[in-house]
């Protein structure tokens, strides 16, 4: 009997993991000893970080999308279907299309997505760039924008913790380029008492804000929007008027794990911080945004977790035992304008440091935006 690895979610983490395992076990797969199945409810992959540039017309949508089938290495079987329920006792996953899939090992890489409905009034009164439709709508609105007060705010939790800062810097430069910066007030409203979770990033951002004339509003956790009065209110009770509101809506995970009784009631999957095991099940794992771990919801985290878990699954699928541990590693580029960028890296025991932004790092980030596809195929 072949050993079955079932991966749910054909996004960043799911693709990297499936491809890495299939590459390393090519012989076992060819001999019929191991099978790798990737289940995804979308048959197109979207490179989400590219959405940041859509509102400014810096990239075209078609450059961010590829068919999932073009991103698979031989040996991975892709099923375009949605997982609806997991039964850990019988080791089966049932799908919307009526399939019953059995597994020896199951990986949940179901990601996270914005939940606009959580914030009353947001759908009518605000903009966001975290979805394709949202980014395109914001592009249209910006094209007509001729000045006024822009408020940028966030609801917790959200993925890519630096995106709101990056958007703010890009907006600052974009309004300068268009000659409307003097008619534009930019207010950056952030959940914490400073501009970013990481103190060194926050200090650096505060200095940039000062230089660029961006106003920082602290302890502002998005709660509701009044689309008629054009006002946004925080959990802490502050209200700000706006002409254009751009938010990072709070995120949630897919309902699969919750509906299968694997979570504590919310949608985040309880996952071991080192082994990535889900709850008490030694054959179910989770990676990427879907976990409840206190790490950044970022593509780089999904990548590093996929590497660790792929190595462990290769052992498990060939009769060995897992020996690799995830150490909390994360890496993020930070765009600081239209032509400069910096980066941070950290793990559970090493705090991040920020280095001064350079043009070189910006070019590296742009280059990464192009080679990401190879990374998904586990070529790099």
What element of type H or E holds 217? strand 215-217
| Prior bond of 289 cis (ω within 30°) | no
Nearest Cα neighbor of 344 from 168, 155, 197, 152 is 197
* Contact of residue 208 among ligand FAD, another protein, none (CB under 5-8 Å per partner type): none
At 184, phi and psi to the nearest 5? -115, 130
Taking CB under 8 A as the criterion, the residue among 32, 98, 179, 237 binding another protein is 237
* Contact of residue 51 among ligand FAD, another protein, none (CB under 5-8 Å per partner type): ligand FAD
Nearest Cα neighbor of 302 from 197, 159, 163, 166 is 159
Ramachandran sector of residue 167 (left: φ over 0; alpha: ψ -120 to 50; beta: rest) = alpha
Taking CB under 6 A as the criterion, the residue among 119, 216, 245, 256 binding ligand FAD is 256
Taking CB under 8 A as the criterion, the residue among 116, 132, 283, 348 binding another protein is 348
Tell whether residue 292 is a contact of ligand FAD (CB under 6 A): no
* Contact of residue 266 among another protein, ligand FAD, none (CB under 5-8 Å per partner type): another protein
The mark string for 49-68 relative to ligand FAD (x by CB under 6 A, - otherwise) is x-xx----------------
The mark string for 172-201 relative to ligand FAD (x by CB under 6 A, - otherwise) is ------------------------------
Residue among 99 and 176 whose Cβ is closer to ligand FAD: 99
Piece of the chain touching ligand FAD by CB under 6 A; list 103-111, 178-186, 258-266, 318-326: 103-111
279 alpha carbon, distance to own chain's centre: 23
**Residue 32 burial (10 A CB sphere; 0-12, 13-18, 19+):** exposed
- For residues 257 and 264, what is the distance between their CA atoms, to the nearest angstrom? 10
Piece of the chain touching another protein by CB under 8 A; list 20-28, 156-164, 172-180, 354-362: 156-164
# residues contacting another protein (CB under 8 A): 31
Taking CB under 8 A as the criterion, the residue among 140, 177, 199, 282 binding another protein is 199
Nearest Cα neighbor of 197 from 305, 311, 334 is 334
CB 288 within 8 A of CB 330: no
The mark string for 17-56 relative to ligand FAD (x by CB under 6 A, - otherwise) is ----------------------xxxx-----xx-xx----
Q: How far is the CB of 290 from ligand FAD (least distance, A)?
A: 6
- For residues 376 and 288, what is the distance between their CA atoms, to the nearest angstrom? 14
- For residues 306 and 358, what is the distance between their CA atoms, to the nearest angstrom? 30
The string of DSSP codes covering 28-93 is HHHTTSEEEEEEES-SEEE-GGGGGGGGGT-S-GGGGEEEGGGGPPTTEEEEE--EEEEETTTTEE
Tell whether residue 82 is a contact of ligand FAD (CB under 6 A): yes
Taking CB under 6 A as the criterion, the residue among 163, 195, 222, 244 binding ligand FAD is 163
Residue among 100 and 274 whose Cβ is closer to another protein: 274
Residue among 43 and 236 whose Cβ is closer to ligand FAD: 43
Q: How far is the CB of 73 from another protein (least distance, A)?
A: 32
CA neighbours closer than 13 Å in the CB half-sphere of residue 32: 1
- For residues 7 and 273, what is the distance between their CA atoms, to the nearest angstrom? 19
In DSSP terms, 179 is beta-bridged to: none
Piece of the chain touching another protein by CB under 8 A; list 42-50, 89-97, 133-141, 229-237: 229-237
At 258, phi and psi to the nearest 5? -65, -45
The mark string for 177-196 relative to another protein (x by CB under 8 A, - otherwise) is --------------xxx--x
- For residues 82 and 10, what is the distance between their CA atoms, to the nearest angstrom? 11
Taking CB under 8 A as the criterion, the residue among 95, 131, 221, 366 binding another protein is 221
* Contact of residue 346 among another protein, ligand FAD, none (CB under 5-8 Å per partner type): another protein
Contact footprint for another protein (CB under 8 A): 156-157, 161, 191-193, 196-199, 219, 221, 235-237, 250, 266, 273, 294-296, 328, 330, 332, 344, 346-349, 351-352
Contact footprint for ligand FAD (CB under 6 A): 8-14, 39-42, 48-49, 51-52, 82-83, 109-111, 129-130, 159-160, 163, 254, 256, 288-290, 297-300, 302, 332-333
């Amino acid at each position: 009997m072949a050993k079955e690895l079932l991966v749910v979610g054909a996004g960043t983490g799911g693709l990297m993991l499936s491809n890495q395992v299939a590459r390393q076990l090519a012989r076992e797969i060819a001999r019929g000893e191991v099978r790798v199945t990737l289940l995804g409810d979308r048959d197109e992959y979207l490179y989400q970080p590219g959405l940041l540039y859509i509102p400014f017309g810096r990239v075209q949508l078609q450059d961010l999308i590829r068919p999932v089938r073009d991103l698979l290495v031989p040996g991975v079987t892709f099923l375009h279907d949605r997982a609806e329920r997991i039964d850990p006792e019988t080791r089966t996953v049932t799908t919307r299309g009526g399939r019953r899939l059995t597994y020896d090992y199951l990986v949940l890489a179901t990601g996270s997505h914005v939940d606009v409905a959580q914030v009353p009034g947001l759908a009518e009164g605000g903009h966001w760039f975290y979805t394709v439709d949202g980014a395109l709508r914001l592009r249209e609105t910006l094209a007509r924008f001729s000045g006024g007060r822009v408020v940028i705010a966030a609801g917790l939790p959200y993925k890519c913790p630096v995106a709101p800062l990056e958007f703010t810097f890009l907006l600052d430069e974009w309004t300068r380029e268009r000659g409307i910066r003097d008619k534009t007030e930019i207010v950056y409203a952030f959940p914490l008492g400073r501009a970013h979770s990481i103190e060194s990033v926050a200090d650096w951002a505060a200095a940039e804000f000062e230089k660029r004339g961006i106003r920082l509003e602290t302890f502002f956790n998005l709660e509701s929007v009044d689309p008629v009065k054009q006002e946004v209110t925080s959990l802490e009770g502050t209200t700000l008027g706006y002409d254009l509101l751009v938010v990072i809506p709070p995120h949630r995970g897919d309902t699969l794990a919750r509906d299968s009784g694997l979570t504590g009631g919310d949608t985040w999957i309880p996952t071991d911080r080192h082994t990535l095991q889900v709850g008490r099940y030694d054959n179910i794992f989770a990676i990427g945004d879907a976990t409840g771990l206190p790490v950044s919801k970022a593509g780089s985290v999904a990548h590093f977790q996929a590497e660790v878990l792929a190595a462990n699954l290769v052992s498990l699928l060939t009769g060995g035992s897992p020996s690799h541990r995830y150490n909390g590693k994360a890496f993020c580029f930070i765009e600081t304008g239209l032509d400069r960028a910096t980066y941070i890296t950290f793990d559970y025991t090493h705090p991040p440091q920020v280095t001064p932004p350079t043009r070189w790092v910006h070019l590296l980030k742009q280059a990464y935006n192009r080679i990401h596809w190879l990374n998904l195929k586990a070529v790099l």
